[in-house]
Amino acid sequence: MSGYPPEMQESIRQVESTRTRRLSKTFNSMSLEEREIVLNSFHPDYIKEKMRAIRVGVSKGQRMPTELADIVEGHPHISPDFDLSEPFAETDVLVIGGGGAGASAALLAQENGAQVILTTKLRFGDANTMMAQGGIQAADRAEDSPTIHYLDVIGGGHFTNVPELVEALVMDAPFVIEWLENLGMMFDKETDGTMMERHGGGTSRKRMHSARDYSGAEIMRTLRDEVRNREEDIRVIEFAPAIELVLDDQGQTIGAVVLNLETEAQHYIKAKAVVMATGGGGRLHYQGFPTTNHYGATGDGIIMAYRAGAPLGYLESMQYHPTGAAFPEQIVGLLVTEKVRGLGAQPVNKHGNQFVYPLEPRDVEAAAFIRECQKRDKGIITPSGQPGLWLDSPMIEIIQGPGAIQKNLPAMVRQFERFGIDITKEPMLVYPTLHYQNGGVQLKADCSTEIPGLFIAGEVSGGVHGHNRLMGNSLLEITVFGRRAGRSASSYAQKVKVGTPNLAHVANWNQELKETGVDTGVVSPILLPDYTRRE
Amino acid sequence: MTETERDTLETTEEDLIPVYIMGKQYMVPSTLTIMKAMEYAGYKLIRGVGCRGGFCGACATTYRIKGDPKLYFDLACQTVVQKGMYLAQIPFFPAPRANYDITKMEPTANTLFSTYPEVLRCLGCGACTKACPQDIDVRNYMAAGMKGDIAALADISFDCIMCGLCASRCPAEEAQYNIAILARRLYGRYLAPRSEHLQKRLEELEAGKFDSELKALKNLDKEKLVTRYEDRDIEPE
């Protein structure tokens, strides 16, 4: 029995009829010129009217998606005279965000002698880290080296990455793998201990380490378990997103105001240093795209750090993953891992014809998908109106042998099986989905920022990946820079002389909005998307 | 909404079905997941929602269907509503958890039994397995635990998302998922074979083997860097 409606099954029969022919014939990859053309005309980042320059703050003039610009220019939740006289809690290092970067920072800050409070919007571990499937890069084989990894990262990022950040990323990578293993993470290995490593889009060596297709989940639950083991020094506060940073009279960051999501009480948490690790913003649904991101990914850290005066960068480029689920409606936008194409599944249109090389860089592949649907009208339209293209997963077992799908993609099989679709027998319908925020708050290699006492790590930051991130470098980024941020914040906290807390930056922000007449009508950070349908 | 209004709705939008969120009836489109149906009904979710993709375990849900005596368990973000569903989410379930120092443990049955003595209380009833939305054979991994087989416990429990439904059903009051993560961490740290190539690379890095090469790369102008990138050889599949 098929989980697809009859009109889609019709198209699947065309996909099946071309399969034998396609097995022996792959579509050619594009020339650099062809790539330029498809990117310019169809990639969401290149649609000029969907971007605009922000009009206030230190990075005034920077372009970003209009949806993001609207909330970056938003009004604060709290007034500048918010009562800071009696902090709800005090600590050395306040970590904002309970994903992989925040957990790594908390652990390293604690190891270096700091008392830590980790505050997070939803549950500890509800983060994009948990959802990352593919793996984590590290150059640890004899055939590979950190310098080759460096070249891959910087070429993939169109040579716009910050060199010092890429250096940190690739040089720390093998140490991070060892650290995770010592914490008890279960990597995929051969029986002699050799790591099983694969290629990802844009890698010149096989260096993708994995834990089945639960790589991020395995990292997150291991880090979370370790944080919980250290509860005497690390206090975790859930359902308490930060809504504003607090500075002192010398402009040093000394904590944040957090909101108890359930009681709506607002509290000041005082700290000597702050690590901002709030992740990305897929739930802002730029240009109406669905997203692979978790429910709380609303770009909060960008808003708070920027209002405090930290410069932003690279936010004109977002990563659209070419293959988000497009059917069934219940899982639209969820990630179909790049590994599916890596294992041999080809993208094909409604007539069962190939239209793009399966492993172009993510931005090029996504643009080609959009072109096939928008311009050429060769996409499938689902009953809910969602366009999509076929990803011919049954090819995997023809190429790799029976059982290959269950073995390599158990999470994918389970996801589609729940809706009556057997991906070993029927193709998956996919369409580009908003996946990753390449840009964010600018940072140095030690994770410090322009604001004393404010450290930054993970997807909220910008510069590591330039204008395009490669698969497997985000799980690496959160651990490398999470660890660095924790260490830096802890040693900074030991030395800093903390002054009187105030919210002068909030007052200044309000003043600037008033003077420039900028009013987007939004209070930010927005904290959660609103999917309710109220009559 | 009055009964009359509902009748009108049912005739104009024929795919609306009744579900009961914590006992209260709402008419929702039959194609939605439980999570989206709750949002359709007007709930702005805070608890019981996380990744929305079946990986985080935040939206553990238990339900019955009118006229069916069976109790069902699933993830709200991955399950489509059915007519007459009586839904309750379990966004938090209190579960015992031991604190431990993973660096000072031995990967033995004794470690398992002394950290979680309740492992040995398992009745083997299988209520946990029935409740697991990941279709993990929880009873089976608990049986491995009773035998002190850490490797098997780690392997069988690997797809666990720690939603807590197993613990909510356990008559022996176990927190299976906490026991399972201890086993996985013991396995990963102590029992999994070590990677020689990783150790070798760490030694090379500590000796500064790549420092000068990397420094040179960092100082290249863009044109030369592009050439280096384009000329790099690609390891075959």
Output the pLDDT for position B4: 39
Q: Is the pLDDT of residue B6 over 70?
A: no
Which of A391, A415, A434 marks a domain boundary? A434
pLDDT tens string A393-403: 999 999 999 99
CB contact B237 to A (< 8 Å): yes
Instruction: Residue B202: list chain A partners with CB under 8 A.
Output: 174-175, 178
Higher pLDDT, B152 or A330: B152
Residue A529: name the closest of A304, A288, A317 by CA. A288
Q: Is the pLDDT of residue B8 over 80?
A: no
Nearest-Cα distance to chain B for A361, in Å, is 14
Q: Is the pLDDT of residue A445 over 90?
A: yes
Structure tokens at B68: 């069916």
Q: Please confirm whether the linkage preceding A525 is cis (ω < 30° from 0).
A: yes
Instruction: Residue A167: list chain B partners with CB under 8 A.
Output: 214, 218
Percent of chain A with pLDDT over 70: 99
Output the pLDDT for position A30: 86
Output the pLDDT for position A379: 97
Mean pLDDT lowest for which of A95-99, A132-136, A306-310? A132-136
Same domain, A303 and A452: yes
pLDDT tens string B20-29: 999 999 999 9
Same domain, A285 and A252: yes
Give the separation between CA B235 and CA B237, rounded to whole angstroms: 7
Which of A389, A418, A434 marks a domain boundary? A434
Same domain, A248 and A301: yes
Nearest by CB to B42, which of A185, A206, A532?
A532
Domain-by-domain residue ranges, chain B? 3-89, 102-191
Query: What is the enclosing helix (H) or strand (E) of A183?
Result: none
Mean pLDDT of A491-510: 97
Which of B195, B227, B231 should one mutate to test binding to chain A, selecting the residue with the greatest count of A CBs within 10 A?
B195
Mean pLDDT of A252-257: 98
Nearest-Cα distance to chain A for B123, in Å, is 26
Residue A109's DSSP bridge partners are none
Amino acid letter, B152: A
Phi, psi of A405 (to 5 degrees): -70, -50
pLDDT tens string A328-377: 988 899 999 888 998 899 999 999 999 999 988 888 899 999 999 999 99
Length of chain A: 535
Output the pLDDT for position A224: 98
Output the pLDDT for position A533: 80
Instruction: Residue A262: list chain B partners with CB under 8 A.
Output: 46-47
Output the pLDDT for position B7: 41
Instruction: Residue A214: list chain B partners with CB under 8 A.
Output: 55, 158-159
Q: How many CB atoms lie within 10 A of CB B147?
A: 12
Mean pLDDT of A99-110: 98
- Strand A253-259 and strand A208-209: pairing? unpaired
Residue A481: name the closest of A128, A139, A102 by CA. A102
Q: For A196, which residue in chain B has the nearest alpha carbon?
A: B195
CATH number at residue A228: 3.50.50.60
pTM, to two decimals: 0.95
Give the separation between CA A179 and CA A192, rounded to whole angstroms: 20
Q: Is the pLDDT of residue A532 over 50?
A: yes
Active site residues of A: 321, 341
Q: How far is CA A368 from CA A39, A258, A294, in A?
A: 8, 43, 26
Domain interval for residue A12: 6-46+319-434
Number of domains into which chain A is organized: 2
Give the separation between CA B237 and CA B234, rounded to whole angstroms: 9
A294 contacts B53? CB cut-off 8 A: yes
B205 contacts A146? CB cut-off 8 A: yes
Mean pLDDT of A296-309: 98
A212 contacts B232? CB cut-off 8 A: no
Left, alpha or beta for A151 (phi > 0: left; psi -120 to 50: alpha)? alpha
Fold of B3-89: Ubiquitin-like (UB roll) (3.10.20)
Q: Is residue A453 part of a domain?
A: yes
Query: How distant is the alpha carbon of residue A420 from its chain centre?
Result: 29
Mean pLDDT of B89-94: 88
Instruction: Residue A295: list chain B partners with CB under 8 A.
Output: 45, 49-52
Same domain, A242 and A296: yes
DSSP line for A101-161: HHHHHHHHHHHTT--EEEE-SSSTT-SHHHH--S-EE---STT--HHHHHHHHHHHTTT-S
Output the pLDDT for position A534: 57
Q: Is residue A271 part of a domain?
A: yes
Output the pLDDT for position B31: 85
Spell out the CATH class of B102-191. Answer: mainly alpha
Mean pLDDT of B81-103: 94
Nearest by CB to B197, which of A126, A141, A145?
A141
Nearest by CB to A174, which of B158, B184, B202?
B202
Q: How far is CA A134 from CA A104, A304, A472, A508, in A?
A: 20, 31, 7, 44
Q: Is the pLDDT of residue A81 over 60?
A: yes
CB contact B193 to A (< 8 Å): yes
Q: Count interface pairs A-B at CB distance under 8 A.
A: 214
Q: Is residue A231 part of a domain?
A: yes
Same domain, A256 and A398: no
Give the separation between CA B58 and CA B91, rounded to whole angstroms: 6
Nearest by CB to B33, which of A126, A206, A330?
A330
Same domain, A300 and A349: no
Which of A434, A459, A478 marks a domain boundary? A434
pLDDT tens string A189-211: 999 999 999 888 889 999 999 99
Give the separation between CA B66 and CA B52, rounded to whole angstroms: 26
Q: How many CB atoms lie within 10 A of CB B203?
A: 10
Same domain, A340 and A299: no
Nearest-Cα distance to chain B for A442, in Å, is 19
pLDDT tens string A122-141: 999 999 999 998 899 999 99
A186 contacts B154? CB cut-off 8 A: yes
Nearest by CB to B54, which of A192, A225, A415?
A415
Phi, psi of A198 (to 5 degrees): -125, 170
B235 contacts A204? CB cut-off 8 A: yes
Q: Is residue A192 part of a domain?
A: no
Averaged pLDDT score across all residues of chain A:
95
How many alpha carbons fall within 13 Å on the CB side of residue A490? 22
Percent of chain A with pLDDT over 90: 88
Q: Binning pLDDT at 50, 70 and 90, where does residue B13 land?
A: low
Residue A484: name the closest of A277, A280, A299, A315 by CA. A277
Output the pLDDT for position B14: 58
Under DSSP, the state recorded for A239 is: S
Nearest-Cα distance to chain B for A496, in Å, is 31
